Chain A
Amino acid sequence: MPEDLTSGLLKKRTWLSKITDGQLLTRKGFALTASVTFGVLILIIWSLLREGSGFFTTYQRELTVYRQAGLEYCDFVNKVVTGHEEIASKLNRAAQAEMAPIFSAARARRDAANLAMGAVQDATSLQRTALEEALAAENKDEPLITKLREELTAAQSTAASRVPTNAGLTPEELRALLGQLAKMMPDSEEPPALITELSAAAAAKEGEAREKFSALVTASAEFEASLEPVATLHGAMKEIAVATKEAAVQQHMAEDAKAQLLEAAAETSDATHAETLRADAAQTEITPIDFSGRLQPLLEKHPEYEALLPVYNAAARKAIAALPATAAQKIARDLISKSKDSFETHIAYANNSGEQMKAWKWDESIPKVKAATHFLFGGDWITNSSWQDFYGVVPLFTGSLLIALTALLIAMPLSVAAAIYTNQFAGKREQSIIKPSIEFIQAIPSVVLGFIGISVLGDLLKSVSEASWLQWIPGFPIQERLNIFNAGCLLALMAVPTIYSLAEDAINNVPRAFSEASEALGATKLQTVFRVVVPSASSGILAAMLLGLGRIFGETMVVLLVAGNRLAIPDFSDGPGVVFQPVGTMTGIIAQELGEVSRGESHWQALFMVGILLFVVSLVINAAARVIVHKFAVPRI
């Protein structure tokens, strides 16, 4: 094309485009931007893998040390000890429950008086501190002390008059108590007379109870004492194992240090500096740890342990046999029969533990796969432990999942119902209010919701759960204000806009012909909606649910603030009441612990592995949502 024909259309060429082809340059420029973007997006995966990749090796090494230093060996005994503690705790509770009817009234009276005293002391702490300070001063200012005493008495009598009337005390007693409380002085040795009296009465009742149920009390105490020799031995064994482990850790650090020094020496150009570095490296002594030798004293304890087992068996069995066959209180009865049941499995394990320990081999290697399965299926997330760190993701995964399911259970019906309503029933005006408002919720930052959870919702839920007419709900009254349900409610609100707008889209996309056909057949509006429109949109609604789930699962701030951070698999024995327990989550653990570990540690790598797992889970959820939409989409008409 001749130049003059296009000159009207094309902009005059600038100096830059004369040097090179401007078109190509623009194109290349955009391609560069795009490739930088994609490059970084690939970097995401690379960086996660880079920081997390060493995890299985490190964890394998740690688990190997755990075995070679004999910590694993000690844990056979540890299991006996914890099993014993479990039963002892049950028996102790049974004894307390059995005795409770005798002393509970006396105790309640004492506690009421104590609480009243505490309330008065709290309200007058300023005056008390002032008096205490005056009394403690080196040269006592007597007039001041007298004045402060008067002030304190006055303050205490006002405070006493505001004490709520406590159950359990007669009006006369209460009056006497309040009088005595008003006169309390920090330098008097004796607590108010009535409190001493009530405490003595409670103690007497406790003594009486112990007398009456002496069989149960003694049996429980004897059971507790029966483990004493084993526990002592366990303690001694642990010390040996921990010492070996410390040495192994030290040695590993020294190896690292030496490697680093040598590396630095190789890199530096300054010859003398390199020489000093090398000298330093040479000084770092690395003597391989003689695990086998260090294990000897531990293994030598084995015969002793074997000898203790029958003694423990006999003593514990005797104590269990001495338990009264029946108890007056139902709680006590249940606890006793439960202890008897678990005792059999416990003692069977204990008797077998000697054999297991004999079969245990310290030099059996731990394959890398084991480290991976420990991470993926391990039930313990224990860090900064004085014994052994474990990185098992199961408690965190269950926590995340439980919260997500709770949130979904709340958000799903609400948002789908709202979506159906706005799309099918609402008038134009209503639609123009509801739709943008719900979509607007999306913009609420999660940390704000977390703050609401910690400052308002937690206390609100707790006080609601204490209402007497709600006690049929499992898990009520709630003990912890930070729990799964609290976090679930807030996350539900976060998921609503996602689910709502996607579900509404899906319903909107159902061809008009469907509903028209249905209505032509004489179906009512509701029948059309629920039998024709919603089923046709179900794949879209399902996808909406999945994307909502993805949003909840990956949320951090709400769960960090509100979920309670208990790093254990929740106790499902409560049934649905489990939602009122606190949990730890995968996102929460990263946010809480990453700031505190140093780079390259196993803990750091473990947290990045959790991040990788989150990444994978979110990709799977997204992909699933997409597949569902594509596979089951309604054909367009």
Chain B
Amino acid sequence: MFNPNNNRHMKKILLMAAAMLSMTYTGSAQSVRVRGSDTLGAKLVPQLAEGFKKQAGGVSFNIAAEGSSTAFTNLAAGTADIGMSSRKVKDDERTFCKTKGVFIKEHQLAWDMMAVVVNKNNPVQALTKKQVAGIFTGAIKDWSEVGGTPGPISIYTRNTSSGTYRDWMTLAMGNKDYAKGSQKLAGNEQIAAEVGSNKGGIGYIGLAYLGSKGLKAVPIDGVAPAASNVSRYPYSRPTYLYTNGDPQGAVKDFLEFCKSPAGLAIIQRVGFVNR
């Protein structure tokens, strides 16, 4: 298990790591570790990071996007400097972090709109909130029930760690559970790909991913998912960045960059909404 040959080497490494630990992580480290939401981490944050690097230089980013829950597990474990989350932190997560000595601080980033997407060849032109809830909870099982061509509905959802998974339950499904037949996919792109290739498919994706092949966003109660409708569209939600205590050093600069005009321009270009 512990190879004695590595003993000496390990010690050196770990002494160095310990030295690093003794300074505060966020304060001095020039490598910013970002963990959490796929919605944010697949496109928006990497691009913000790029923009920031151009300005500040010398800072390196290390981004992994596996779902919002991972933001808090990593913050608590001390393996992230910034947590990305597409939902607000849950009370039990905050408490959990506290038990690990991590006091998380919230920074609102941008608004995201979750568009309901169907296949381009699906004749359904509009849905109501009630219909969407019915479809995702499994009460509505066939497209003919919502005015489409008869055929079973294939539901594509994000995987369970995703903040979007949870948000969608709250925003669109009246806090009920997903239909048993729903398929859990790893990210927005995968949902887009499956809905784009399946005539009976339905799913939800962030506004930033709408451009994919074979997709069509459906207006909900007559409101189309578009940046201009952010206040009226039923499935809009804010997204957040979280830090361990007050941000310092590069992390602080990065968060300030996100609110600067250059950062806001990136946010808008990627398909998120400033509000």
Physical contact A–B (CB less than 8 Å): yes
Interface residues of A (CB under 8 A from B): 36, 39-40, 43, 85, 88-89, 92-93, 96-97, 100, 107, 110-111, 114-115, 118, 122, 246, 249-250, 253-254, 256-257, 260-261, 331, 380, 382-387, 458-459, 462, 479-482, 564-568, 582, 584, 592-593, 595-598
Please report the C-alpha to C-alpha distance between residue A253 and residue B144 in the assembled complex, in whole angstroms: 47
Nearest chain A residue, comparing its CB with the CB of B74: A598
Known: A250-B91, A481-B197. A114 touches B123 (CB 8 A): yes
User: Which of A100, A261, A598 contacts B76, CB < 8 Å?
Assistant: A598
**Is the beta-carbon distance between A564 and B139 smaller than 8 angstroms?**
no
Nearest chain B residue, comparing its CB with the CB of A563: B183
Please report the C-alpha to C-alpha distance between residue A518 and residue B186 in the assembled complex, in whole angstroms: 58
Q: Which residues of A contact B198 (CB under 8 A)?
A: 479-481
Please report the C-alpha to C-alpha distance between residue A10 and residue B98 in the assembled complex, in whole angstroms: 67
Please report the C-alpha to C-alpha distance between residue A380 and residue B98 in the assembled complex, in whole angstroms: 32
Known: A384-B165, A592-B184, A598-B73. A96 touches B150 (CB 8 A): yes
**Distance (whole angstroms) from the CB of A103 to the closest CB of chain B:** 10
Q: Which residues of B contact A111 (CB under 8 A)?
A: 123
**Is the beta-carbon distance between B91 and A595 smaller than 8 angstroms?**
no
Verify if B259 is at the interface (C-beta below 8 Å from A): no
By Cβ-Cβ distance, the 5 closest A-B pairs, closest first, are A596-B161, A111-B123, A384-B160, A96-B144, A598-B73
Known: A481-B198, A596-B159. A386 touches B169 (CB 8 A): yes
Please report the C-alpha to C-alpha distance between residue A76 and residue B95 in the assembled complex, in whole angstroms: 33
What are 10 contact pairs spanning A and B, CB under 8 A? A93-B145, A100-B150, A114-B125, A115-B123, A250-B91, A250-B92, A253-B95, A256-B99, A386-B169, A480-B198
Please report the C-alpha to C-alpha distance between residue A92 and residue B134 in the assembled complex, in whole angstroms: 13
**Is the beta-carbon distance between B145 and A96 smaller than 8 angstroms?**
yes
Please report the C-alpha to C-alpha distance between residue A110 and residue B70 in the assembled complex, in whole angstroms: 46
Known: A92-B145, A93-B142. A565 touches B185 (CB 8 A): yes
Verify if B85 is at the interface (C-beta below 8 Å from A): no
Please report the C-alpha to C-alpha distance between residue A246 and residue B69 in the assembled complex, in whole angstroms: 18
**Distance (whole angstroms) from the CB of A610 to the closest CB of chain B:** 15
User: Which of A97, A122, A596, A597 contacts B150, CB < 8 Å?
Assistant: A97
Verify if B257 is at the interface (C-beta below 8 Å from A): no
**Is the beta-carbon distance between B70 and A596 smaller than 8 angstroms?**
yes
Nearest chain A residue, comparing its CB with the CB of B211: A125
Q: Which residues of A contact B123 (CB under 8 A)?
A: 107, 110-111, 114-115
Interface residues of B (CB under 8 A from A): 1, 66-67, 69-70, 72-73, 76-77, 91-92, 95-96, 98-99, 120-121, 123, 125, 138-142, 144-145, 150-152, 154, 159-161, 165-166, 169-170, 175-177, 180-186, 194, 197-200, 216
Instruction: Apart from A256-B99, A386-B170, A595-B161, list 17 A-B contacts with CB within 8 A.
Output: A43-B1, A89-B142, A92-B145, A100-B150, A110-B123, A111-B123, A114-B125, A115-B121, A254-B95, A261-B99, A386-B177, A387-B177, A459-B197, A462-B197, A479-B152, A479-B199, A564-B183
Q: Which residues of A contact B120 (CB under 8 A)?
A: 115, 118, 122
**Is the beta-carbon distance between B141 and A89 smaller than 8 angstroms?**
yes
Please report the C-alpha to C-alpha distance between residue A254 and residue B95 in the assembled complex, in whole angstroms: 8
**Is the beta-carbon distance between B197 and A596 smaller than 8 angstroms?**
no
**Is the beta-carbon distance between B150 and A93 smaller than 8 angstroms?**
yes
Q: Which residues of B contact A384 (CB under 8 A)?
A: 69, 160-161, 165-166
Q: Which residues of B contact A114 (CB under 8 A)?
A: 123, 125
**Distance (whole angstroms) from the CB of B76 to the closest CB of chain A:** 7
**Is the beta-carbon distance between A595 and B183 smaller than 8 angstroms?**
no
Please report the C-alpha to C-alpha distance between residue A111 and residue B148 in the assembled complex, in whole angstroms: 10
Please report the C-alpha to C-alpha distance between residue A151 and residue B51 in the assembled complex, in whole angstroms: 33
* Residue among B123, B140, B150, B160 with most chain A CB within 10 A: B160
* Residue among B125, B139, B165 with most chain A CB within 10 A: B139
Q: Which residues of A contact B121 (CB under 8 A)?
A: 115
Q: Which residues of A contact B216 (CB under 8 A)?
A: 118
**Is the beta-carbon distance between A386 and B159 smaller than 8 angstroms?**
no
Nearest chain B residue, comparing its CB with the CB of A103: B147
Q: Which residues of A contact B197 (CB under 8 A)?
A: 458-459, 462, 481
**Is the beta-carbon distance between B96 and A598 smaller than 8 angstroms?**
yes
**Is the beta-carbon distance between B95 and A596 smaller than 8 angstroms?**
no
**Distance (whole angstroms) from the CB of B260 to the closest CB of chain A:** 22
**Is the beta-carbon distance between A596 and B154 smaller than 8 angstroms?**
no
**Is the beta-carbon distance between B95 and A593 smaller than 8 angstroms?**
no
Known: A97-B144, A114-B125, A462-B197. A480 touches B175 (CB 8 A): no
Please report the C-alpha to C-alpha distance between residue A118 and residue B119 in the assembled complex, in whole angstroms: 12
Nearest chain B residue, comparing its CB with the CB of A39: B1
Please report the C-alpha to C-alpha distance between residue A433 and residue B140 in the assembled complex, in whole angstroms: 56
User: Which of A88, A118, A261, A479 contacts B154, CB < 8 Å?
Assistant: A479
**Distance (whole angstroms) from the CB of A580 to the closest CB of chain B:** 12
**Is the beta-carbon distance between B145 and A565 smaller than 8 angstroms?**
no
Q: Which residues of B contact A97 (CB under 8 A)?
A: 144, 150
Q: Which residues of B contact A39 (CB under 8 A)?
A: 1
**Is the beta-carbon distance between A257 and B73 smaller than 8 angstroms?**
no
**Distance (whole angstroms) from the CB of B92 to the closest CB of chain A:** 5
**Is the beta-carbon distance between A596 and B67 smaller than 8 angstroms?**
yes
**Is the beta-carbon distance between B69 and A597 smaller than 8 angstroms?**
yes
Known: A93-B142, A118-B120, A250-B91. A567 touches B66 (CB 8 A): no
Known: A100-B150, A595-B66. A386 touches B91 (CB 8 A): no
**Is the beta-carbon distance between A36 and B95 smaller than 8 angstroms?**
no
Nearest chain B residue, comparing its CB with the CB of A570: B181
Please report the C-alpha to C-alpha distance between residue A261 and residue B98 in the assembled complex, in whole angstroms: 10
Please report the C-alpha to C-alpha distance between residue A593 and residue B162 in the assembled complex, in whole angstroms: 10
**Is the beta-carbon distance between A257 and B194 smaller than 8 angstroms?**
no
**Is the beta-carbon distance between B73 and A597 smaller than 8 angstroms?**
yes
**Is the beta-carbon distance between A253 and B92 smaller than 8 angstroms?**
yes
Nearest chain B residue, comparing its CB with the CB of A569: B180
Please report the C-alpha to C-alpha distance between residue A260 and residue B123 in the assembled complex, in whole angstroms: 57
Please report the C-alpha to C-alpha distance between residue A256 and residue B92 in the assembled complex, in whole angstroms: 11
Please report the C-alpha to C-alpha distance between residue A584 and residue B197 in the assembled complex, in whole angstroms: 20
**Is the beta-carbon distance between B154 and A257 smaller than 8 angstroms?**
no
**Distance (whole angstroms) from the CB of B204 to the closest CB of chain A:** 16
User: Which of B70, B99, B144, B177 contacts A595, CB < 8 Å?
Assistant: B70
* Residue among A88, A257, A382, A598 with most chain B CB within 10 A: A598
User: Which of B66, B69, B151, B181 contacts A568, CB < 8 Å?
Assistant: B181
**Is the beta-carbon distance between B99 and A567 smaller than 8 angstroms?**
no
Known: A89-B141, A97-B150. A257 touches B159 (CB 8 A): no
Q: Which residues of B contact A566 (CB under 8 A)?
A: 181-184
**Distance (whole angstroms) from the CB of B243 to the closest CB of chain A:** 18
Q: Which residues of A contact B125 (CB under 8 A)?
A: 114
* Residue among B77, B183, B185, B198 with most chain A CB within 10 A: B183
**Is the beta-carbon distance between A257 and B150 smaller than 8 angstroms?**
no
Please report the C-alpha to C-alpha distance between residue A481 and residue B125 in the assembled complex, in whole angstroms: 24
Nearest chain A residue, comparing its CB with the CB of B67: A596
Please report the C-alpha to C-alpha distance between residue A431 and residue B145 in the assembled complex, in whole angstroms: 60
**Distance (whole angstroms) from the CB of A591 to the closest CB of chain B:** 10
Nearest chain B residue, comparing its CB with the CB of A93: B142
Nearest chain B residue, comparing its CB with the CB of A462: B197
Nearest chain B residue, comparing its CB with the CB of A583: B183
**Is the beta-carbon distance between A40 and B1 smaller than 8 angstroms?**
yes
**Distance (whole angstroms) from the CB of A333 to the closest CB of chain B:** 15
Nearest chain A residue, comparing its CB with the CB of B69: A596
**Distance (whole angstroms) from the CB of B104 to the closest CB of chain A:** 14
**Distance (whole angstroms) from the CB of A203 to the closest CB of chain B:** 11
Please report the C-alpha to C-alpha distance between residue A261 and residue B175 in the assembled complex, in whole angstroms: 34
Please report the C-alpha to C-alpha distance between residue A89 and residue B165 in the assembled complex, in whole angstroms: 25
